[in-house]
Structure 1
Amino acid sequence: MGRSELAWTDTTRSDADTPSGKRELRGWLYYPTTQAPAVEGVALDGAWADAYRPSLERRLGVAAAKAMLTAHWHASDAPAAPGRFPVLVFAHGYHQLPTNYSALLEGLASRGYVVLAMASPGIAEVVPLAGNRMAPNRPLDDRSYDTMARDIVSAIGELPALDASAGKPYAGHLDLDRVDVFGHSVGGAAAMLAAARVPRVHAAANLDGDYVGPSAVAQPRVPLLYVTSQPPDRPAQPKSDWDTERNEVRRGRLWRHLASRSPRALRVRVGGMFHANFEDSALLPASAMPRKLRENRYGSIDGARGLDLTVRLLAGFFSETLGGAPMDSVQAVVRQFPEADLQVLTRMPDRSKSGSE
């Protein structure tokens, strides 16, 4: 798969942290190629890596930070494969960068999707801007969800210009009529909010994001996927023990409200996965992180298995909603992973019964 770094300015919005006074956004575009996958460069380097290293060291430890910043991935600057591909816009979690999700993004690109993974200034830990300035990380609050949703909308608005970019390897390969959104944590909740605001979005997926502020009252009218992790103070099995956990009860209540206007809303709960299992750091060897830190951040599931499950769920869901390359359905994927269960909150009109599968 291929990858290109992106930069654009949303001139409709003000931002005091930028030299231009407007909202400056950065990101990467992942796209399918005909080139066989091969280990290429690191996910993050240069000013990005230099600025991000101290944060990684504080949160994960020196050894884990070094492993994250030196891990080699597969994306290159190879030409795109022939044809036009459905587009997914991805939003990261708080303190994260898009490159912390290389396994997910490359996995989707290898299955026939273009993925625009944006870095949201103030919510990402660091974002280099014009004039050698660095956008600082800001405290997360209710307004952050609206900010990130507006960044997603801005990224969607940038797609026609990207498709028309002369000389770029991905130019002419974006299917602008097939666009969906997804994200992790705050980015997942913001993706749902953006889907409620942009008519051209066909579906949205949220990876373990809690609904806060404006994202808690949005009601998208498109198919939805919500993948959630194990409550930290409950066992992986049986999941019936989760049903009285306070945050799980809150999540269920907000999810039922948010999905009430969706033609089809799927929730997949995964035992053994914690919130950080959606990130590349779940792949780090045990030797790279103190045992207690690993136990607090990651569940009992094998890191590679958890990410494989997530990619397959997303690919199956977006294949159904965007008409992408044939993939196993969400239901079929869940049947292959005993750790997961599926709750179907609403269904298409010709399948009117609600409940669980």
Structure 2
Amino acid sequence: MSVLDAAVLLTTLGFAILLVAAPARARKVAPIVLSLVTIGSLGLWAVEGYWHWWPLFLLIALMFAFLVSDPDTTRRRVPMRVGIGVLAVLALLPWAMPPVPELPAPSGPYAVGSEIFRWVDEARAEPTGAGDRRNVVVQAWYPTELVSGRQWLYLDPLPPTVYGIPRVFLSTYELIDTNATAAVPVSPARERWPVVLFSPGYGAPRAVYSGLVADLASRGFVVLAIDHPYESAATKLADGTIAGTVEDLPADDPDGTRYMTTRLETRTADLRFVLDRLGGELGPLTDRLDLDTVTATGHSFGGATAISAMAADDRITAAANIDGTLYGPEHSLTRPVLLVESDRGETGHSQVYLDGNRGLLERLRAPGFRYEIGAADHYSFTDVPGFPAAPVRFAMGHLIGGSRGPAATQRLTNDLLAPFLLGRHAEVDPAATRHDRVTGGQVSR
């Protein structure tokens, strides 16, 4: 919340309390106070958009009406007092949910550039039947030395509703600073940069991992964050169409295992399609990728996707699964694997999750690592827990878990990912020991 936000809100709420408790005193200062908050609220409207502050605007209007009403008209003034009280409470909502959330700044030595590619795989039909050919959307995050001042939007354009929430309530997410700029060259610090394919959780857009992937890019990686259309709430396709969620869970598949396995096959093909494009024209990334160091990682279902893709394609040299339940066939992998888990006590991982990842490590014929991050829940790896204001985040962290917070969780995760993805396995355990409440280590060699 900005200084202007706080000043207008606190002044308005303070005057509302004075008006209800001592109308006579309020009348003496009303011209000055209401003039100031009206000017301030118009500033909020101009800068941040009107909808977040509609309770505040109505509150100011109702206070004007209260002041000019006949003091002897008791029947009218009682409901007006009640209305002032209700609107005063509602006016606090933007303070609980800031109109424009802030992402943590990347911690690496490089600035971050970004480029979006919207590709069509002409060799595959869209498996959901919602489109003709399969689209794959990739946002590249890469190290740079320059800042252009031009950003991509945090979210792709949204449909009228997102998971039942009207689009207007998410409109200012377009103003989120992604800490990356567009139309900048790749850093010349090295000729070619290691590549990381990143797959998001089921139903999640790539955007909600911006904090994680921008930080990883700032450490010297080209991170290709992939949107899997018709899973995410909104994905802008190559022809400009906005694809929403298409989900058709079969009635004879009550736990969704068969359905998720089918989705996993589609996602795996998406990652392999991206691999096929890496040697071609990629804008600022052309001829700047180290194709001998291509790894995969992802969160939740994206973690399962990373493991599946490495099992299916030898071009992927290592894979990291961040808190993901595995689906599909059991794999006996011969390339390194890293498992990064949230606090089992806070997330409550299913038995399927526990059995699948334990079996993966037992069958592994390469270096394997597993770490559990205390006080991190399943969503701590995303930007979402950072959207509420600090007091709300504090309450949520202590009531439902994840008190470590997304910024600290993401930075710790990247401290583990960075050496692991480069094959510097001796550096992974020391990276873990620099943080508190991290358990685990190397489990196979």
Measured against the shorter chain, the TM-score band is: 0.7 to 0.9
- Pick aligned residue for 1:28 from 139, 156, 161: 139
- Pick aligned residue for 1:70 from 175, 192, 203: 175
Contact persistence 1:19–1:131 (CA under 8 A): no
**RCO higher in 1 or 2 (8 Å CA, sep ≥ 6)?**
1
Query: Number of aligned pairs?
Result: 319
The 10-residue stretch of structure 1 (149-158 or 16-25) with the greater mean CA deviation from structure 2: 16-25
Contact persistence 1:269–1:342 (CA under 8 A): yes
Question: 1:79 aligns to what?
Answer: 185
Deviation at 1:207, TM superposition (A): 0.7
Q: 1:131 to 1:50 in 2, by over 3 A?
A: same
Query: In proportion to residue count, which structure has more strand?
Result: 1
Deviation at 1:87, TM superposition (A): 0.6
Question: 1:126 aligns to what?
Answer: 234
Contact persistence 1:273–1:300 (CA under 8 A): yes
Question: 1:207 aligns to what?
Answer: 322
Contact persistence 1:189–1:211 (CA under 8 A): yes
Question: 1:277 aligns to what?
Answer: 380
Question: 2:276 aligns to what?
Answer: 157
- Pick aligned residue for 2:365 from 242, 248, 262: 262
Question: Aligned equivalents of 1:10 and 1:183: distance in 2?
Answer: 22
Question: Aligned equivalents of 1:12 and 1:132: distance in 2?
Answer: 20
Amino acid at match of 1:170: L
- Correspondence 1:289-300 to 2 at 5 A: 298-300=401-403
3-state secondary structure, aligned to 1:227: strand
Deviation at 1:57, TM superposition (A): 4.2
> Which deviations, in whole Å up to 9, do the C-alpha atoms of 1:179-215 show, x marking residues without a partner?
100001101101101101111111000110111234x
3-state secondary structure, aligned to 2:285: coil
Gaps of 5+ in 1: 235-244, 348-357
Q: 1:132 to 1:4 in 2, by over 3 A?
A: closer
User: Kindly, what percent of the aligned residue pairs are identical?
Assistant: 26
Contact persistence 1:30–1:105 (CA under 8 A): yes
- Correspondence 1:52-131 to 2 at 5 A: 54-55=162-163, 57=165, 62=169, 65=170, 68-76=173-181, 77-82=183-188, 83-131=191-239
Amino acid at match of 1:299: G
The question of 1:138 aligning with 2:246 is answered: yes
- Pick aligned residue for 1:8 from 102, 111, 119: 119
Q: 1:228 to 1:126 in 2, by over 3 A?
A: same
Question: Aligned equivalents of 2:376 and 2:349: distance in 1?
Answer: 18
Contact persistence 1:32–1:114 (CA under 8 A): yes
What TM-score, normalized to structure 1? 0.79
Deviation at 1:310, TM superposition (A): 1.1
3-state secondary structure, aligned to 1:35: coil
Question: Aligned equivalents of 1:296 and 1:189: distance in 2?
Answer: 29
Query: In proportion to residue count, which structure has more helix?
Result: 2
Deviation at 1:264, TM superposition (A): 0.9
Deviation at 1:102, TM superposition (A): 1.1
What TM-score, normalized to structure 2? 0.65
Question: Aligned equivalents of 2:172 and 2:337: distance in 1?
Answer: 34
Amino acid at match of 1:341: T
The 10-residue stretch of structure 1 (136-145 or 331-340) with the greater mean CA deviation from structure 2: 136-145
Deviation at 1:150, TM superposition (A): 1.4
Question: Aligned equivalents of 2:138 and 2:401: distance in 1?
Answer: 26
Deviation at 1:293, TM superposition (A): 6.5
The 10-residue stretch of structure 1 (86-95 or 328-337) with the greater mean CA deviation from structure 2: 328-337
Q: 1:332 to 1:34 in 2, by over 3 A?
A: same
The 10-residue stretch of structure 1 (277-286 or 114-123) with the greater mean CA deviation from structure 2: 277-286
Contact persistence 2:118–2:237 (CA under 8 A): no
Contact persistence 1:120–1:148 (CA under 8 A): yes
Amino acid at match of 1:72: D
Question: Aligned equivalents of 2:150 and 2:367: distance in 1?
Answer: 39
Question: 2:20 aligns to what?
Answer: none
> Which deviations, in whole Å up to 9, do the C-alpha atoms of 1:227-256 show, x marking residues without a partner?
11123558xxxxxxxxxx772x54343223
